[in-house]
Chain A
Amino acid sequence: MSLDDYRVLFLVATLVLALVAASPALGVVVPFDGGSERFSELWLLGANHMAQDYPYNVVEGEEYTVFVGVGNHMGNSEYYMVCVKFCNSTVSFLDIDGGVPSGLSPLMEYRFFVGDGMVWESAVSFGFRNVVIDGDVLSVGGVVVGGVVFPVDAVAVWDSEAGGFIFRLFFELWRYDVESQVFGFDGRVVGLRLDMTA
């Protein structure tokens, strides 16, 4: 190697070492986002705290339990609201999946704050009251969520395809937007399909 080659080698080595020495200050000046996607997650687990054994055949007077959870990967603490809604099977989940929340009024709601990278989870018990079958029509007069009875007027017609009276209990995730200072639908919904035939 010639002296000029050695000179270049020394310059490069010095530059690299200088960058390493300057990295603590560069870390403050240059933001390293890591490029990770920011999102919130919403999940629903069965009574055994696993993604199985979800209630399906339900009857009046019984109490059922599921676990609803929310994970925050938004990069900072977030203020969430989970709305519990109930409807018959004629309300399509496609509208909800399209980023539009259901127009139904919520029964119960949960409001909570989750730090970045943290999760929130709660057991949600539910049941039904005043279930009346009249021919091929079944009406539900009350839904119990977390021990609170909510009067409803939900009616389902016998679904010959599914072979039952089908209802839906679902959970919508809403997130507080600091800029607009209102809750906005986060586009995430989890739900249960319930047959009240039994």
Chain B
Amino acid sequence: MKFVDEFRNADQAHALAAKIASLCEPGRHYKFMEVCGGHTHTIYKHGLEDYLPESVELVHGPGCPVCVIPMGRVDDAMHLAAEPDVIMTSFGDMMRVPGSNGSFFDAKASGTDIRMVYSPLDSLKIARANPGRRVVFMAIGFETTAPSTAMTVLRAAAEGLTNFSVFCNHVTIVPAIKAILDSPDLRLDGFIGPGHVSTVIGCRPYEFIAADYGKPVVVAGFEPLDILQSIYMLMLQLSRGQATVENQYTRVVPWDGNLVALRAIGQTMELRPYFEWRGLGFISHSALRMRPEYAQYDAELLFKVPGVRVADPKACQCGEVLKGVLKPWECKVFGTACTPETPIGTCMVSPEGACAAYYNFGRLSRQRVKEVTRS
């Protein structure tokens, strides 16, 4: 298939793998974090780690929109959904995220009107078709999805629609990366930068990683060759003693980002003073809420939101997994108490979560893969 197979070519992968191996200094261990959950998914889905030398390790980062939603926020959403006349809408990924009293799917089975949408514009469609109901869109995601929420609010305002609002849970990637860089228990050699987020924010926001922390960053695309090439670019920088921000995903990511999208976000949303991240705790200026000018589309103002706070279960080590301190299988409850069927932690819910990716695709040590494919 055109525009896909070219980026999954095994011959080119072998060539890149050989180049990566040739850059490995003997006795040195390399640890790179792929920030974005989409990258984690690609790495596992295509078995990309089979191409890496044992001294190159990939650490899975916090860039999975569903994984960073704290349980209390899910409870708040359930509370909203149970308000009279409300139709709650959200992306499919959100449907299985557990709150204190089950997930959206469970609530739906008990009769709460919760609908899955592919785009916030679908929520708008539902609002138009149900003038007597109040339609709430549970917005999740990084700067990748924030523009579509912003455009939807602008569209609603232009149409004068009064029965549509947003329960805003948009988060921003840079404070999360900073939290990881400041975390004492992790030593990283570089970052595979998030491709989709960067289509919106561009590459400049990562310059502090190179300048202040001395770590190379390569913004990468989502096909397996993109990621392999980015690892090569990181290795090349390290071998030359450099630390800069590079863009591997030039076919999609403009260096300065998408100004139209950024303007739409800026017009409708503003930074929250602080926001709770699953496993990472409160991070200041790390999330977005609706601007006062768009208060009539802010579900947090239109409805009473209890602001539930739920402690992460002690046994659940999502935080450590999100920060890349633990491998998914090193979590105490991984695969036994916490599975994709009955996830305790959010990392097990979304296909972009490190735990779900490892459980579904990678549940086989590299040693075993070698044995099986050799025979």
Answer yes or no: do A and B interact.
no
